[in-house]
Structure 1
Amino acid sequence: MNKIKTLCGFCATVLISTSPLTQANELQQAVIGEHRTASYQARDEYRNPQQTLRFFDVKPDMTVVEISPGGGWYTEILAPYLKDNGKLIAAHFDPNSDVEYYQRSHKNFMQKVEANQDVYGKVEVSVFQPPQKLDFAPAGSADRVLTFRNVHNWYMRGAGEENLNKVFASFYKALKPGGVLGVVEHRLPGDRPAEDMEQSGYMHEAVVIKAAEHAGFKLAASSDINANSRDSADHPKGVWTLPPSLRLGEENRDHYLAIGESDRMTLKFVKPAQE
């Protein structure tokens, strides 16, 4: 443990925090843990969870919100990493939605959480169902808000950029000043028409940045951690042509497996410390 001594006027405060090496080891243990689903672990080579979470500077004593966790791919890593000293809020679909898919996804996630209390016992589950339900955490309470491969859904199911503006504003509201929004999203080449975002599952990086900045965020850094130069982002069934979905079944299966998962942007935004 490292001790950091901070002097302020006549008082001295001693802050205890884990060292970067200890944090890295804890994150690695969460990634390689036996609790993880085998098919999920097989995706690590494309999703690079250790590098991605380090890029977003996620520490084990933080309050982290995972937006729309789906089946819990990242939840399997974040839950044990944050369990002892932090908090994970899983902002999932509305279980009372009229959409059967949302109901089923939420039910499956809750079954996963309830089946392994040793790992997921401290996960808090809230509702995030844009554009109606956006208050997934108390205002100014989160150190990190993370979203993985979700932005296209909000764009496609809502009113395009108008819906994105509402979503990113909710992220801004939930974060503490100085907090970080981490975004991983399928990337559409900049020279492709905007219409391609409507059905393909790929997004222009400039559109994602614009929505974040509209909410008040500042782009702190971008990374090619999750880039894939083999992906042309031009497939018959959009991003779902590629693994793990493989919507074409056996048709050109080896070709799409050789490409791997999609080319992705990885963006780190910061809510200014002083507004």
Structure 2
Amino acid sequence: MRRFLGLALALGVLTGCGSADDAAPARADAFSPSRYAAAINDIARPAADREADAQRKPGELLAFAQIRSGEAVGDYIMGGGYMTRLLAQATGGSGRVYAFQPDEFIAFRPEYASEQDAAVAPYADNEGNPVRVFPLRGPVAAPDFPEPLDAIISVMNLHDLYLASLPEGTADTALAALYAALKPGGRLIVVDHRAPPGSGAAAADSLHRMDEALARTALETAGFVLEAESDLYTRPDDPRTANVFDAAIRGRTDQFAWRLRKPENAQ
């Protein structure tokens, strides 16, 4: 299921703290992987997260997502919390991260609930109340984010919205909810395993992969505008015909990475 500013800003970039750039319009040269060094090198990150970094390239992904200190960000379908922990540091002391775990996923695998609890626990106050990182649960098609978000990240989960076990129309309803949850101009970052072209929704169940044409149509129908594509996870050797959990391909699948935007003039 599942780019640096000059020397005057170097300290703020390396520590993940706010900088003058955070208040300015995004520029391509302002987001480099090194900007997120503090988040990646956080000693509290579990060993399993660090072991996954070589494949998941967190600095590059956070740069592509243009995550800034102080933003409100949703981790949609958070899984084990890999992105949640990174976002908690990348958004800094004034940021908020909402880690959403769907009820349907917890029902299928109860460990998702305990993994969510463990991911947010380090950011609670002395009484155990969440601070900066907040756990959310609910129907996969109705994430109840409590404030308008600057960005939402969903990694290797879009295909799950097309599983046959979910009601028909789940994907369209969920994408409409994500669109509504974002501020005008907000960003949606989607990463998923590529399916063979033309495979449609069936690839979700058979391969746990996402047909790009179907994904783009659904996202644009929801109102999103595709702003950028990244070859960060492009792996031409993947024939795209094996289930992503197959040991021969697991962790080495060909994936697309998109940054989409809700138009600034959206209501």
The TM tier, using the shorter chain, reads: 0.7 to 0.9
What is the aligned partner in structure 2 of residue 239 from structure 1? Answer: 244
Query: How far apart in 1 are the matches of 2:226 and 2:55?
Result: 24
Query: How far apart in 2 are the matches of 1:63 and 1:266?
Result: 21
Q: Residue 114 of structure 1 contacts residue 121 of structure 1 at CA under 8 Å; is this kept in 2? A: no
Which of 115, 121, 133 aligns to 1:123? It is: 133
Aligned length: 240
Which of 72, 78, 82 aligns to 2:91? It is: 82
- Deviation of 1:274 after TM superposition, in Å, equals 0.6
What is the aligned partner in structure 2 of residue 17 from structure 1? Answer: 20
Query: How far apart in 2 are the matches of 1:66 and 1:193?
Result: 25
- Deviation of 1:98 after TM superposition, in Å, equals 8.0
Q: Residue 73 of structure 2 contacts residue 98 of structure 2 at CA under 8 Å; is this kept in 1? A: yes
Q: Which moved more, 1:261-270 or 1:184-193?
A: 184-193
- Deviation of 1:16 after TM superposition, in Å, equals 6.8
- Deviation of 1:88 after TM superposition, in Å, equals 0.6
Rg larger in structure: 1
Q: Any residues of structure 2 matched to 1:127-206 within 5 Å, and which? A: 127-131=137-141, 134-138=142-146, 141-156=148-163, 157-159=165-167, 162-190=169-197, 192=199, 195-206=202-213
Q: Any residues of structure 2 matched to 1:209-248 within 5 Å, and which? A: 209-235=216-242, 238-241=243-246, 246=247
Q: Structure 1 residues 128 and 221 mapped into 2: Cα distance closer, same or farther (>3 Å)?
A: farther
Q: Residue 68 of structure 1 contacts residue 93 of structure 1 at CA under 8 Å; is this kept in 2? A: yes
Letter in 2 for 1:17: A
Which of 47, 67, 71 aligns to 2:76? It is: 67
Q: Residue 74 of structure 2 contacts residue 149 of structure 2 at CA under 8 Å; is this kept in 1? A: yes
Query: How far apart in 1 are the matches of 2:199 and 2:47?
Result: 36
- Deviation of 1:130 after TM superposition, in Å, equals 2.3
Cα deviations by residue, 1:104-159 (Å, 9 ceiling, x for unpaired): 311232034325658x842011124223xx142146x1000110011121111324
Query: How far apart in 2 are the matches of 1:148 and 1:94?
Result: 18
Percent of pairs with identical residues: 25
- Deviation of 1:68 after TM superposition, in Å, equals 1.1
Query: How far apart in 2 are the matches of 1:207 and 1:191?
Result: 8
What residue ranges of structure 2 are gaps of 5+ in the alignment? 1-7, 10-17, 23-28
- Deviation of 1:100 after TM superposition, in Å, equals 5.2
- Deviation of 1:209 after TM superposition, in Å, equals 1.0
What is the aligned partner in structure 2 of residue 6 from structure 1? Answer: none
Q: Which moved more, 1:34-43 or 1:147-156?
A: 34-43
Matched, 1:111 2:121: no
SS class of match (1:33): coil
Matched, 1:264 2:267: no
Q: Residue 85 of structure 2 contacts residue 119 of structure 2 at CA under 8 Å; is this kept in 1? A: no
Q: Structure 1 residues 136 and 23 mapped into 2: Cα distance closer, same or farther (>3 Å)?
A: farther
Q: Structure 1 residues 56 and 112 mapped into 2: Cα distance closer, same or farther (>3 Å)?
A: closer
Query: How far apart in 1 are the matches of 2:220 and 2:56?
Result: 25
Matched, 1:53 2:62: yes
Query: How far apart in 2 are the matches of 1:100 and 1:188?
Result: 24
Letter in 1 for 2:107: V
Query: How far apart in 2 are the matches of 1:128 and 1:227?
Result: 32
Query: How far apart in 1 are the matches of 2:211 and 2:196?
Result: 7
Q: Structure 1 residues 262 and 62 mapped into 2: Cα distance closer, same or farther (>3 Å)?
A: same
Letter in 2 for 1:149: M
- Deviation of 1:192 after TM superposition, in Å, equals 4.6
SS class of match (2:114): helix
Q: Residue 159 of structure 2 contacts residue 210 of structure 2 at CA under 8 Å; is this kept in 1? A: yes
